[in-house]
Amino acid sequence: MEDSTTAAAARPPGFSGSAENLAHKDPYFHSQSPTHHHDILSSNSIILIIVSIISICIVFAIFLVIVMLRRIKSARKNDSCNEKNNSSRFIAHTATDFSYSPDVRERCLNGGNLLLSTPSRYRGVQVLTYKELELATDNFSEVNVIGNGGFGVVYRGVLADGTVAAIKRLQRDRKQGERAFRMEVDLLSRLHSPYLVQLLGYCADQQHRLLIFEFMPNGTLQQHLHSPKGQYQPLDWGIRLRIALDCARALEFLHDHSIPTVIHRDFKCTNILLDQNFRAKVSDFGLAKIGSEKINGQILTRVLGTTGYLAPEYASTGKLTTKSDVYSYGVVLLQLLTGRVPVDTKRPSGEHVLVSWALPRLTNRDKVVEMVDPVLEGQYSKKDLIQIAAIAAMCVQPEADYRPLMVDVVQSLVPVVKSYNSISCPASSRFQPQTSSPSFSTRYGIKSFGHKADKDYSIGM
Ligand SMILES: Nc1ncnc2c1ncn2[C@@H]1O[C@H](COP(=O)(O)OP(=O)(O)O)[C@@H](O)[C@H]1O
Ligand SMILES: [Mg+2]
């Protein structure tokens, strides 16, 4: 069809219709001898054929150029993906097809496409069979159970290559389960940060859905902060500061370094896991929302999450923004500071909800000392305490617009952590200078300590 259009357009002006039609309509045609008539006809036909051939060639050449450009582009994309295996960016959320059983070990995820070149790995994420996971967990033995959460039971397992892993098995009757499973695989196979728990693999073998994560030997922040006395050593002030900074960096990464933005939506102490050095990593992306679903910077969605951590505007209207995560972060910071849980009905009236109890005290220099976790006595300087309390107060503001961005929180925490570490371990070489954007300290009237104007210090991983 394209060819015929091109050919018609290429005819000389006034040339319309077939040669026979012209012969009937044009009187000049009748006055010519039959031989001359055929000469004109054949020369016109030759021109027509040549023009048509040239047009077809041009169209074909354009098509070839487009195909070549596309191939070059996709080759470059693959190259950069391989180079930046630890890239902080992912491009767009696409649905992923899990209907294939990885029993047939030749398919793996690639944002909705099945990548055939690297059969059982997608950017370090392995596709495992149910059999392999049975072997890893000693047939899902009770003795290997390390937790039981919203997703299902979590087991400690040892993979065939000797890697110790946390293996989460989705309970079949969980409604949100399939969506959570897809979201975790889709997001964590693209997002790589030292502040996020690493997804090692997954299994979508027939009806089975399992996620395989790096094993975090010190469990959750919840366990260390809120387990019955004596079960765990209390976390000291320095460790709490570092955990606060690690978590802030995790959310900063999701909000500002991921394209499109990712909203975690279930940031809480049970989703903060601790490694052998008590460095924190954020886990559980089953409820996460991707910024590409935004309308005017907000996502209208069903209210999901955990009571006590939900931002008021999200809880009441379902309007979700990155500031909802900032609120949840503020609640966790309050837990680190006070050792209290977000909602505790066993406490005297007026103290049930942590945020309501803490907010008026956080900005009162004398009262703030009274609210600190008693086990931390004598470990902190008052100016550090006031700084942390001010950050927490900003994060749990009822009005979302008054809450800081996570990048600002990071900027404000860095000097506090740095100054604490320089006092407690002056010879520490874990700090590496980095350039930074302006701090929100000045904007919110929070003082920075020992903090050069255009330098930021992050803790080396
Ligand atoms: N990567 C991991 N390493 C070590 N333990 C883990 C890991 N992931 C989960 N767990 C343990 O399993 C428990 C349940 O986890 P999860 O399914 O995330 O549920 P929830 O966050 O609702 O507690 C956690 O509280 C934790 O004790
Ligand atoms: Mg969890």
Q: Residues 209, 225: one domain?
A: no
Q: Domain of 343: which CATH number?
A: 1.10.510.10
Residues 208 and 255 both lie in one domain: no
The candidate with the shortest Cα–Cα distance to 308, out of 348, 270, 255, is 270
**Where is the domain boundary, 214, 242, 266?**
214
Contact criterion met (CB below 8 Å) for 249 and 282 = no
Q: How many CA within 13 A on the CB side of residue 17?
A: 9
- Summarize pLDDT for 139-153 with one digit per residue, the tens: 999 999 999 987 899
- Residue pair 300/319 in contact (Cβ under 8 Å)? The answer is yes
Instruction: Please state, in angstroms and rounded to a whole number, the distance separating the CA atoms of residues 158 and 135.
Output: 8
Nearest to 135 by CA among 98, 153, 161: 161
Can you give the pLDDT at residue 213?
Answer: 97
Instruction: Assess if residue 6 is contained within a domain.
Output: no
Q: Where is 191: in which H helix or E strand? A: none
Give the pLDDT of residue 64. 77
Residue 391, H or E segment: helix 382-395
Q: For residues 342 and 309, is the Cβ–Cβ distance under 8 A?
A: yes
Q: How far apart are CA 126 and CA 204, in angstroms?
A: 11
**Which amino acid, residue 13?**
P
The residue from 151, 181, 214 where one domain ends is 214
Write down the pLDDT at residue 304.
72
277 lies in a domain? Answer: yes
Mutation choice for ligand 1 from 270, 278, 287, 332, CB with most ligand atoms inside 8 A: 270
Shared domain for 280 and 147, answered yes or no, is: no
Give the closest residue to 166 by CA, choosing from 182, 176, 153, 183. Answer: 153
What does the pLDDT read at residue 318?
A: 87
Q: Kindly list the distances between the CA atom of residue 202 and the CA atoms of 152, 257, 285, in Å, as whole numbers in the listed order.
A: 15, 25, 14
Instruction: List, for residues 429-459, the tens digit of each pLDDT value.
Output: 433 333 333 334 433 344 332 333 233 333 3
Residue of the CA atom closest to atom 7 of ligand 1: 166
pLDDT score of 230:
84
Other CB atoms within 10 A of residue 268 CB: 24
Cis? peptide before 260, omega within 30° of 0: yes
- 171 and 295: one domain? no
Question: Which atom of ligand 1 is nearest to 197's Cα?
Answer: 1
User: 252 and 181, same structural domain?
Assistant: no
Binding site membership of 195 for ligand 1 (Cβ less than 6 Å): no
Structural domains counted in the chain: 2
Of 179, 197, 214, the last residue of a domain is 214
- What pLDDT, on the 0 to 100 scale, is given for residue 71? 67
Chain centroid offset of residue 198 CA = 12
Q: Ligand 1 atom 26: the closest Cα is on which residue?
A: 147
Write the CB contacts of 126 (distance below 8 Å, at least 6 apart in sequence): 120, 200, 201, 202, 212
Other CB atoms within a 10 A radius of the CB of residue 456 amount to 18
Show the domain range for 113: 96-214
Instruction: Please list the ranges in the chain whose pLDDT falls under 50.
Output: 1-35, 75, 77-120, 427-461
Distance (Å, whole) CA 42 – CA 24: 17
> What DSSP assignment string belongs to 116-184?
-SSTTEETTEEE--HHHHHHHTTTT-GGGEEEE-SSEEEEEEE-TTS-EEEEEEE-TT-TTHHHHHHHH
Assess whether 266 carries a catalytic annotation.
yes
For residues 172 and 259, membership in a common domain is answered with no
User: Cα–Cα–Cα angle for 141, 143, 148, nearest 5°?
Assistant: 85
- Determine if ligand 1 sits within 6 Å of the CB of residue 177: no
At 433, which amino acid appears? Answer: P
CATH of the domain at 108: 3.30.200.20
Residues 286 and 425 in one domain: yes
- Residue 254 sits in the same domain as residue 297: yes
Pocket test for ligand 1, best of 144, 146, 174 (most atoms within 8 A of CB): 146
Q: Tell whether ligand 1 has an atom less than 6 A from the beta carbon of residue 284.
A: yes
Q: Are residues 293 and 407 in the same domain?
A: yes
Residue 45 covered by a domain: no
Q: State the Cα–Cα distance between residues 240 and 279, nearest whole angstrom.
A: 10
The reply to whether ligand 1 has any atom less than 6 angstroms from the CB of 165 is no
Residue 165 lies in a domain: yes
- Which residue among the candidates 205, 266, 384, 456 is catalytic per the annotation? 266
Coil/strand/helix, residue 271: helix
Nearest in space to 461 (alpha carbons), one of 436, 433, 430, 434? 430
